[in-house]
């Protein structure tokens, strides 16, 4: 069995060549770190203990915890970890309607192709480049938000930036609109100097701008209150007290990045053309979206990150956004959904939305549906909506 080369045995200039190749593949950030335990691991354990991961139970599985503490359990031969960053456009660079109206908002990273399709092939290309340069002796394993890795910690340790108060990795030159990826390799590359400076200073813009107050003092997020979690990872009902704060976000949220000075002060970023970001994907027409059939949903969001929410979750979010619009123009779409939609989760949130909009038309629909609805959870939402109409704040 051949042994992977140590740093002293590697071809001269290999790390520089790797960085050049990574740039060619579309990665604007490149750094190298060791596979030692991440410094933020104790914070991660505390976060789990307090239940701030919500329903993401895969994060608290012992196998997952062990691998986050010790990256060598992921790849026993690992000697170095290459950390990469792929930029995506800021919302300001591809603007769409931002008024709450009857338009929704989608997090900028989801305006194009799912990065889970885009990044892995590029990691394989980089791994093949390493094999070519080292004579095929290097074992590697790539990840892009798909494995038990504290990737922002690794990225900071690889010199790519610091972890901001909003928990995002921030590069001082280009901001935080990045998709991170890692390539574990069985060769010893010279590690980069960790990024030590906290450049957030006394700034609290992200904390103060967060509608649900989910950003915590230890630079973690209470996922149970985060709009991104609520609209994507959360598969059930959105807590009633948080629905108004979601405003018109229907998939993810960019608020804590949009207000960050490190994102506001820079020119329009370059990004991989293969992401194919489309402004029309940023602000969907809510009334139209609410009527998407399963086939239409799958066709429209093929190869899109929005598939992760699934149709029922996405339409649930759309219903909440329509309720937050307070627009009587939304009543017809919500009424039709409450009357005919097959998914109880969507009907339940449509009932809530009608209660938020109010008026006699909403009351009539709710009263009629209270006589025909068979699902108890939906009936509870209908009754709560009717009570809201009878006893407005």
The pLDDT of residue 391 is above 80 = no
Total residues found in the chain within this entry: 393
Handedness of CA 209, 210, 211, 212 (dihedral sign): negative
pLDDT at 191: 97
The confidence score (pLDDT) of residue 280 equals 73
pLDDT digits (tens, 9 = 90+) for 23-73: 999 999 999 999 999 999 999 999 999 999 999 999 999 999 999 999 999
* Residue 279 belongs to a domain: no
Note the pLDDT of residue 1.
Answer: 45
Task: Evaluate whether 144 touches 120 at the Cβ level (below 8 Å).
Answer: yes
Percentage of the chain modeled with pLDDT above 70: 92
Do 275 and 115 form a contact (C-beta atoms < 8 A)?
yes
10 vs 97, residue with greater confidence:
10
pLDDT tens-digit map of 1-30: 455 666 556 676 899 999 999 999 999 999
pLDDT digits (tens, 9 = 90+) for 169-210: 999 999 999 999 999 999 999 999 999 999 999 999 999 999
Which residue range(s) make up the domain with 360? Answer: 285-393
Query: Residues 270-279: what's their mean pLDDT?
Result: 71
pLDDT band at 365 (very low <50, low <70, confident <90, very high): very high
345 falls within a domain: yes
Residue with the bigger pLDDT between 377 and 265: it is 377
Tell which of 155, 185, 215 closes a domain. 185
Decide: helix, strand or coil at residue 345. Answer: helix
Listed residues 185, 203, 234: the one ending a domain = 185
End position of a domain, from candidates 185, 205, 221: 185
Active-site residues: which are they?
145
CB 86 within 8 A of CB 119: yes
**Could you give the 3-state DSSP secondary structure of residue 226?**
coil
pTM value is 0.94
In this structure, the answer to whether residues 180 and 293 fall within a common structural domain is: no
Q: Are residues 178 and 34 in the same domain?
A: yes
From CA 304, how far away is CA 110, in angstroms rounded?
7
Let me know: does 249 contact 105? Beta carbons within 8 Å: yes
Three-state DSSP class for 266? coil
Instruction: Please check whether residue 252 lies inside any domain of the structure.
Output: no
Tokens 């104790």, residue located? 42
Chain segment 279-304, per-residue pLDDT in tens: 778 889 999 999 999 999 999 999 99
């Amino acid at each position: 069995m051949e042994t992977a080369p140590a740093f002293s045995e590697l071809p001269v200039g290999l790390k520089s060549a790797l960085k050049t190749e990574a740039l060619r593949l579309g990665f604007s950030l490149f750094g190298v770190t060791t596979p030692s335990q991440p410094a933020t691991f104790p914070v991660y354990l505390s976060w789990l203990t307090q239940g701030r991961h919500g329903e993401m139970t895969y994060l608290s599985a012992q196998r997952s915890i062990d691998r986050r503490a010790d990256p060598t359990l992921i790849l026993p031969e690992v000697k170095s970890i290459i950390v990469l960053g792929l930029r995506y456009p800021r919302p300001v660079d591809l603007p769409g309607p931002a008024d709450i109206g009857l338009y929704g908002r989608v997090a900028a990273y989801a305006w194009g192709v799912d990065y889970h399709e885009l990044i892995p092939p590029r990691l394989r290309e980089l791994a093949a480049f390493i094999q070519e340069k080292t004579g095929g002796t290097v074992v590697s394993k790539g990840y892009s938000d798909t494995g038990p890795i504290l990737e922002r910690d690794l990225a900071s340790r690889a010199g790519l930036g610091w972890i901001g108060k909003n928990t995002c990795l921030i590069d001082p030159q280009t901001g935080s609109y990045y998709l991170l990826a890692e390539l574990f390799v069985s060769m010893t590359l010279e590690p980069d100097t960790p990024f030590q400076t906290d450049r957030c200073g006394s700034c609290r813009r992200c904390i103060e701008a967060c509608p649900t107050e989910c950003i915590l003092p230890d630079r973690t997020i209470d996922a149970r209150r985060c709009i991104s979690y609520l609209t994507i990872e959360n598969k059930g009902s959105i807590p009633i007290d948080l629905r108004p704060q979601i405003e018109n976000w229907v998939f993810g949220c960019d608020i804590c990045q949009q207000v960050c000075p490190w994102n506001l002060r820079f020119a329009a970023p370059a990004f991989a053309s293969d992401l194919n970001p489309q402004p029309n994907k940023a602000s969907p027409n809510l009334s139209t979206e609410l009527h998407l059939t399963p086939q239409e949903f799958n066709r429209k969001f093929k190869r899109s990150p929005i598939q992760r929410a699934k149709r029922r979750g996405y339409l649930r979010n759309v219903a909440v956004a329509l309720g937050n619009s307070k627009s009587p123009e939304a009543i017809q779409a919500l009424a039709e959904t409450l009357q005919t939609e097959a998914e109880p989760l969507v009907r339940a949130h449509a009932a809530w939305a009608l209660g938020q909009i109010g008026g006699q038309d909403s009351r009539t629909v709710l009263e009629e549906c209270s006589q025909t609805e068979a699902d108890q959870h939906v009936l509870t939402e209908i009754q709560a909506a009717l009570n809201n109409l009878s006893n407005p704040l």
